[in-house]
Amino acid sequence: MVDGSTDLETYRVVHQQLQDLVLMQQQQVESFGEMIRNREEESVRAKMYDDVVKELENERLEHAKTKALLSKESEKLQFALGEVEILTKQLEREKKAFENALESIKNKTLKELNKNDKLKSKCNDIESKIEKQEDILSSKEDQIKELCHQLAKQKATLKYRPFSLLSATAPLGLPPSSPEDGSRLCSP
């Protein structure tokens, strides 16, 4: 990208050179005019006089062309400087838009990472609770198996007891034990 101050400096240099050229041409025109006067004083022949006049006219024509070219190039330079300024502003706007979009994406990413961390923490807590519940369930199942084993032992013991002992427990307010008591929990 071309810097605006460099463009201005280039414009100034070109402008100064063209002014110097115009000045030189004016000096040449004046020089030719003086030469013509000197030659007139010296009684220069008519043909030489006509040649000098034509040369002067050519110099004036070249001077006019140079002036027109300077004007045209100055307009082009001003137009180019305007375009550079417009493009610089557009680039600045696009840069700001990009920076804003990038910042927004960074913020969203950070929020999502925080959200993921919270969810992972929650999952870990839940997994820990599940493990504790499974440990408790396993312990309870072991207790149930132990109780079933004890119940089976008691049933086996009661089967071999005399009938009178079994009926003696009924008056104490205990229901007579049936073989099906507790069998639902102890069945394999």
Model confidence band, residue 6 (pLDDT cutoffs 50, 70, 90): confident
Asked whether the predicted pLDDT for residue 86 surpasses 60, the reply is yes
Placement of tokens 């396993």 in the chain? 138
**Using CA atoms, how far apart are residues 102 and 109, in angstroms rounded to an integer?**
10
What token pair was written down for 109? 């990413």
Q: Which residue has the higher pLDDT, 37 or 70?
A: 70
Q: Measured on CA atoms in the order 21, 25, 30, 31, is the torsion positive or negative?
A: positive
Q: What value does the mean pLDDT take over residues 176-183?
A: 49
Ranges 39-43, 86-90, 172-176, most confident: 86-90
> For residue 57, which of 73, 36, 71 has the smallest C-alpha distance?
36
pTM recorded for the entire structure: 0.39
What token pair was written down for 143? 């207790």
Asked whether the predicted pLDDT for residue 171 surpasses 50, the reply is no
Which pLDDT does position 175 carry in this prediction?
47
Asked whether the predicted pLDDT for residue 105 surpasses 90, the reply is yes
Asked whether the predicted pLDDT for residue 127 surpasses 50, the reply is yes
**Using CA atoms, how far apart are residues 154 and 78, in angstroms rounded to an integer?**
113
Least confident span in 7-11, 117-121, 151-155: 7-11
Asked whether the predicted pLDDT for residue 3 surpasses 80, the reply is no
**Using CA atoms, how far apart are residues 104 and 144, in angstroms rounded to an integer?**
59
What token pair was written down for 134? 């499974």
Across all residues in the chain, what is the average pLDDT? 84
> For residue 175, which of 184, 166, 164, 163 has the smallest C-alpha distance?
166
What token pair was written down for 136? 């408790």
Residue type, 83: E
Model confidence band, residue 170 (pLDDT cutoffs 50, 70, 90): very low
Q: What value does the mean pLDDT take over residues 52-75?
A: 92
> For residue 10, which of 2, 136, 106 has the smallest C-alpha distance?
2
Which pLDDT does position 58 carry in this prediction?
94
**Using CA atoms, how far apart are residues 151 and 180, in angstroms rounded to an integer?**
11
What token pair was written down for 61? 């024509």
